[in-house]
A and B are shown apart, each in its own frame.
Chain A
Amino acid sequence: MGVRGKVLGLTGDEAVAYAIKQVEPDVVAAYPITPQTIIVERISEYVANGEIKTEYIAVESEHSAMSACIGAAAVGARAFTATASAGLAFMWETLYIAASCRLPIVMAIVNRALSAPINIHCDHSDSMGARDSGWIQIYCENSQEAYDAAIQAWKIAEHPDVLLPVMFCLDGFVLSHTLENVHTLPDEDVKEFIGERKFVKVRSHEGREVPFVLDPENPITIGPLDLYDFYFEHKRQQVEAMKNAKKVIVDVGREYGKISGREYGLLEPYKLESAEVAIVGLGSTMGTAKVVVDKLREKGRKVGLLKIRAFRPFPYEEVIKELEHVEVIGVLDRSLSFGAQGGPLFLEIRSAFYDFERRPLISNYVYGLGGRDMPPDLIMQIFDDLEKIKEKGRVDVLLKFIGLRE
Chain B
Amino acid sequence: MTERLPGWRDIPIGGVAFKPSEEYKTGDWRVFRPVLNKEKCNRCYLCHFYCPEGAIKVLDTGDIEIDYDYCKGCLICVNECPRGALESVQE
Interface residues of A (CB under 8 A from B): 100-103, 163, 200, 202-207, 212, 220-224, 226, 229-230, 232-234, 236-237, 240-241
Contacts and interface: CB of A to CB of B under 8 A. Distances in A.
A220 B15 CA distance: 10
Contact of B21 (A103, A205, A223, A232): A205
Interface of B: 5-8, 11-21
Contacts of A163: 13-14
Nearest to B18: A203
Nearest to B12: A202
A315 to B, nearest CB: 24
B15 A226 contact: yes
Contact of B8 (A220, A223, A236): A236
A241 B8 CA distance: 12
Contacts of A212: 12-14, 16
Contacts of B17: 204-205, 220-221, 224
Contact of B16 (A103, A222, A240): A222
A233 B13 contact: no
A43 to B, nearest CB: 27
B18 A229 contact: no
A203 B12 contact: yes
Nearest to A97: B15
Nearest to A163: B13
Where chain B touches its partner, the secondary structure class is: loop
8 contacts: A101-B15, A102-B14, A205-B17, A207-B18, A212-B14, A221-B16, A234-B11, A236-B8
A229 B6 CA distance: 10
A230 B11 contact: yes
A218 B67 CA distance: 29
Nearest to B24: A225
A93 to B, nearest CB: 16
Q: Which residue of A103, A202, A226, A241 has the most chain B CB atoms within 10 A of its CB atom? A: A202
Contacts of A224: 15, 17
Contacts of B18: 202-205, 207
A203 B19 CA distance: 9
Contacts of B5: 229-230
Nearest to A201: B12
A205 B13 contact: no
B13 A223 contact: no
B7 A205 contact: no
B14 A223 contact: yes
A100 B14 contact: yes
Nearest to B5: A229
A236 B19 CA distance: 20
B20 A102 contact: no
Contacts of B6: 233
B16 A202 contact: yes
Given A204-B17, A223-B15, A236-B8, 6 more contacts: A205-B18, A206-B20, A222-B14, A224-B15, A234-B8, A234-B13
Contact of B20 (A205, A223, A236): A205
A2 to B, nearest CB: 36
A234 B20 contact: no
A115 B57 CA distance: 55
4 closest Cβ pairs, A-B complex? A202-B12, A233-B8, A102-B14, A236-B8
B20 A222 contact: no
A396 B25 CA distance: 62
A237 B16 contact: no
A233 B13 CA distance: 10
B17 to A, nearest CB: 4
Given A205-B21, A234-B8, A236-B8, A220 B16 contact: yes
